[in-house]
Every structure is written in structure tokens, then in C-alpha cells.
Amino acid sequence: MSRVLFRLVVVFLVLAAATQGVLRAELTPDQAKQARALQARALIEQFSAKEFAVRQAAVEKLIALGPDVVPLVRKTLTETKDAEVKLRCEMTLRGIAQKFGADAIAEKPAARTDTKTPINLEASKITIDVKDAPLDEVMQKFAEQSGNQPIDVPENLRDKTVTLSVRNTPYWQAMDKVCELAGVMYMPVWAQRKLQLLEAGETPRVGCYAGPVVMKVEEGTNSRSFRKMKVPGGGRPVAIAARDDLTYQLSCFWEDRLPNARVELRVTKAITPDGRNLIVPEQPGLLVPLVDPMHFGKDKETSHRLGMVRIREVPEGLKMLAEISGVLRLKLGIGEKVVKVEDVLVGGAREPVTEDGVTITVKKAERQDNRVTVDIEARCEGGQGLASFAPESAQCAFFLVDPNGVRHPCWMKGGSFGPRAAAGPGRAAREEAQLNLMFQNLPVIDGAWALLFTYPERTESREYPFTIKDVPVP
């Protein structure tokens, strides 16, 4: 290489380095943060690489990026089903904690709900105009416009497309239009606490809409029972009379953007075509809590429930009910209060922890493989009477928080309750409780685990009358 050519190359390299430095200097803090986020995503994708060296290098580079990557790594850890990716996420979080301190991966308090901001208690509205759009894309558009979670589209339905044009249409009505066009239906996946699209059955479901709520009749059964009848003259009741009973299963769905704490149902009418009401008038104000097959402590209330309607002494030959009607009440839990017991798995009894009059005392905590049991005393001062301590309540939730800040919901809770305090006309609220909490399927992560009890800052109830027309009799 000639001396002149060598000098030209040196000058070029110097200019290139200077230019790169200028470009770095011109990055704003937001741009630099965005660049680190892109780099972090690229490194996380390498967690599933075939080469061990690539996976290990990705962990080391993420640790070097520091605490800024923690939210993305934690989100990946929660969502992925790949065991290797989970392992690498856990290694990254532990490495960041060792290098930058435990506070770097500590759980950040969730943004508090503004309890003074009015909640839209009516139906969300959907406006969409698409042609041959994939189902999962349409579900995503519904979610973006409503604030609800997108309904899951399984792999076998990903090829289905929809041509749809609706304007300012209530959420559930627009959703049912999609289902009609695509030949699908939404149903709960109880184990995963979400809704999913399935192939529609041969018999369409009848239902109705009430604000942010939709009611569906899933199935009905007709059974015959027998009873003894009195004999005139005061003799022994020996005569036998047959009675036809009718039972319907109702599915209740509401928009999951609503911070629901509890749902209750009252069915007041089952009207025959000739105007007869087959429902015996109930005690005024009586509302029956609906059944949730997976009703345990959790981080978010489900947006669906099952209800049963039983009709006794059905007229012979009845083929159709003109209507089934009643009221659905949503009790909304707004905002979140937290009582947290740190390092709960250290062994024996712990000192009581009190926040806003609620006291949690851990008596015992034991771990066996991926299962943890915790015995606690819970107490509420000042007559607040948190009925949410009860196993059947959805106004609260218990969690174990792992060292990476991930919440793991309580799988089952039970126990006994102490003195009660009145919570309103005809109702009682539990003030004290001895609870047994069980947590299942926990990851094996070394470090300090915390017990979390959450409950609403306030509650607000809203009733939605409903009427389902032309219900077939099975």
C-alpha cells in the first residue's frame, strides 16, 4: 500500500469514528432508551437459539444493560411457555439483582386507579370496517377500541377471515356479529380465566344484551320428580304425583375492562306463551351469587360466570318460554389497597403487618417442591368488616410474589371466621379469620418471597335488568 493511500484510509477511519461519536452525542435520552429496548428485545429472542454460547452471551449482555430491561424480561417470563426462555429470564433477573442490588428488580407499585374518575358503566362502542380480515386481527381491533382484553383465537381458527362493517355498535352485539359471520362462539377457558373462540354448535344460543353485559342460555334439562300427596280425610299420604322440572344454565359475560369484584343474579320471571309466570316470587332484594368453577384468589376477576335457573311444575307440552328475565348486579372493586408481608418463607410465625386497619399475621409457611401453604390470621379494625376474607368472595386476592416481582395467585383458600359485624340490612361481614392458603405450580427461584393481600379502595354496585326472549324448552 502506498504512503498516500495509507494516509487516505487513516483519514477515512478517523472521520467515520468522529461521525459515529456525533451521532451518539445527538441521541436524546428517549432515543437512547428506545435503542436499549430494541437491543433488549433482540437479545431475548436469542434465549431460544440453538447454540448454548449464544444463549449465555445474551444473558450476560442483558445484565450489562441494567435495570431498564427488567420490565421487558419480567413480561417475557410471565408470558412465555418455553422452559429455556423462562430459565434465561430468571438468570437475567438474578444477575441484575447481584450487580445492581435487589432494589433493581423489586416489584414496582402498580399505578393506583383514580377512584374519582367515573367508570363507564355502559357498553363500549365498536366502529370497524374490514374485508377478509383474520379473526385475531379483528379481536385485536375490538380490544383497542373497548379497553377489554382480546378474546383468544386458537390455532385452528387462525385461517378464518371476516368481512365486517359496523358503526358505534355496542361491544357484545358487534362481537356476536363477528361470531355469526365466522361460524364461531366465545366460551370461557376456566383454567386460564379467559375467553376463547370455538367452532359454533349446531344450535345457536339465545341471549340478550344489557349495557356491558350479555346473557346466554347454554343448555336446558327437563326432569321428572315425584311427590306424595295428601289423601282426603286425613289418611296417610300415599298418592303419588309426577312433576316436570326445568333447569337452564345461563352464561353471563361482561366487559373485562370493568374492575369487577362480585356478580349476583336474580331471575324473577319465566313467562309461558299464555302469560303465566313459572317463577315463584322471590324475597325482595334476594340476589344469588353465581358459580365460578375456578373461584380462588387471583390477580384479576374473571369476566364470566355460570348461573342456574330452576323452574318447577312445568306445564305439560310446553315447547317454548316467551321470556326469562331478571337482574344481574355487578359489584365493582375500584382502586387497590395492599398489605404485604416480606420474606414470608423464612419459617415460623412473623410479626403482624397492618395497613389501613387490616392486619395480616403469618403463623406458618411451608414449601414442598412447587407448592406452598401459608397459615395466617386476618383482622379488620374499625368495623370495616371485610367480607372479602371469605373463601367465596372475589373482593380480595392473596398472592405470593417471587424474587422477580411476579405475582402468583392463591390456588385455594379456606378457614374459619371469628366475630361478625353488621355490614348492612340483613347482611353480616366477617371481621376476623384464620385462613389456610395454598399456592400451586410455583417456579423454583431462590430469594425472598412476599405474601400480598389486595382489596379495593371502594366498591360500587350497578344493576342490569335483562330479558331473554323465545327460550326453547328441551
CATH number, domain of 390, equals 2.60.40
Indicate whether 10 pLDDT > 50.
no
% of the chain at pLDDT higher than 90: 19
pLDDT (mean) for 121-149: 91
Predicted TM-score (pTM) of the model is 0.61
pLDDT the model gives residue 468: 94
Which of residues 248 and 6 earns the better pLDDT score? Answer: 248
- Residue 406 per-residue DSSP state: -
Are residues 369 and 220 both part of a single domain? no
pLDDT the model gives residue 166: 94
Indicate whether 197 pLDDT > 70.
yes
pLDDT (mean) for 334-349: 81
Q: Is residue 35 part of a domain?
A: yes
Are residues 346 and 323 both part of a single domain? no
Are residues 141 and 97 both part of a single domain? no
Indicate whether 131 pLDDT > 90.
yes
Highest mean pLDDT out of 16-20, 186-190, 383-387: 186-190
Indicate whether 442 pLDDT > 70.
yes
- Going by pLDDT thresholds of 50, 70 and 90, the confidence category of residue 387 is very low
Please, are residues 373 and 410 in contact by the beta-carbon 8 Å criterion?
no
Q: Cβ contacts of residue 234 below 8 Å, gap of 6+?
A: none
pLDDT (mean) for 18-28: 46
- 225 phi and psi angles, rounded to 5 deg: -120, 165
Please, are residues 255 and 303 in contact by the beta-carbon 8 Å criterion?
yes
Are residues 196 and 282 both part of a single domain? yes
Q: What is the CATH number of the domain that holds 44?
A: 1.25.10
Rg (CA), the chain: 29
pLDDT the model gives residue 32: 65
pLDDT the model gives residue 230: 61
Which of residues 151 and 24 earns the better pLDDT score? Answer: 151
Are residues 383 and 304 both part of a single domain? no
Considering only CA atoms, which of 91, 81, 82 is closest in space to residue 447?
91
Are residues 214 and 326 both part of a single domain? yes
Q: What cell was used for 98?
A: 447481584
Which of the listed residues 41, 70, 105 is the one where a domain comes to its end? 105
pLDDT the model gives residue 330: 84
Q: What is the pLDDT of residues 82-121, one digit of tens each?
A: 878 888 888 888 888 777 766 667 655 444 444 455 678 8
Q: Is residue 6 part of a domain?
A: no
Q: Is residue 312 part of a domain?
A: yes
Which of residues 104 and 380 earns the better pLDDT score? Answer: 380
Considering only CA atoms, which of 355, 426, 342 is closest in space to residue 384?
355
pLDDT the model gives residue 274: 92
pLDDT the model gives residue 103: 62
Which of residues 398 and 186 earns the better pLDDT score? Answer: 186
pLDDT the model gives residue 17: 46
Are residues 175 and 219 both part of a single domain? yes
pLDDT the model gives residue 186: 92
Among 193-202, 286-295, 327-336, 435-444, the minimum mean pLDDT is found in 286-295
The owner of cell 402498580 is 110
% of the chain at pLDDT higher than 70: 72
pLDDT the model gives residue 105: 73
Q: How many domains does the chain have?
A: 3
Indicate whether 327 pLDDT > 50.
yes
Considering only CA atoms, which of 83, 84, 89, 87 is closest in space to residue 41?
89
Angle at Cα 420 formed by Cα 419 and Cα 422, nearest 5°? 155
Q: How far apart are CA 252 and CA 163, in angstroms?
A: 27
Are residues 302 and 155 both part of a single domain? yes
Indicate whether 132 pLDDT > 50.
yes
Are residues 130 and 268 both part of a single domain? yes
Q: Which domain holds residue 256?
A: 125-334+462-472
Are residues 214 and 147 both part of a single domain? yes
pLDDT the model gives residue 322: 94
pLDDT the model gives residue 228: 60
pLDDT the model gives residue 351: 85
Indicate whether 407 pLDDT > 60.
yes
pLDDT the model gives residue 43: 92
Q: Is residue 2 part of a domain?
A: no
Give the other-Cβ count within 10 Å of 57's Cβ: 14
Q: Is residue 50 part of a domain?
A: yes
Q: What cell was used for 226?
A: 315425584
Q: Is residue 212 part of a domain?
A: yes
Among 23-27, 230-234, 268-272, 442-446, the minimum mean pLDDT is found in 23-27
Please, are residues 398 and 297 in contact by the beta-carbon 8 Å criterion?
yes
- Going by pLDDT thresholds of 50, 70 and 90, the confidence category of residue 243 is low
Are residues 302 and 350 both part of a single domain? no
- Going by pLDDT thresholds of 50, 70 and 90, the confidence category of residue 389 is low
Please, are residues 439 and 365 in contact by the beta-carbon 8 Å criterion?
no
Q: Is residue 399 part of a domain?
A: yes
- Going by pLDDT thresholds of 50, 70 and 90, the confidence category of residue 162 is very high
Are residues 130 and 195 both part of a single domain? yes
Q: How far apart are CA 467 and CA 7, in angstroms?
A: 87
Q: Is residue 276 part of a domain?
A: yes
* Average pLDDT along the chain: 76
Which of residues 351 and 108 earns the better pLDDT score? Answer: 351
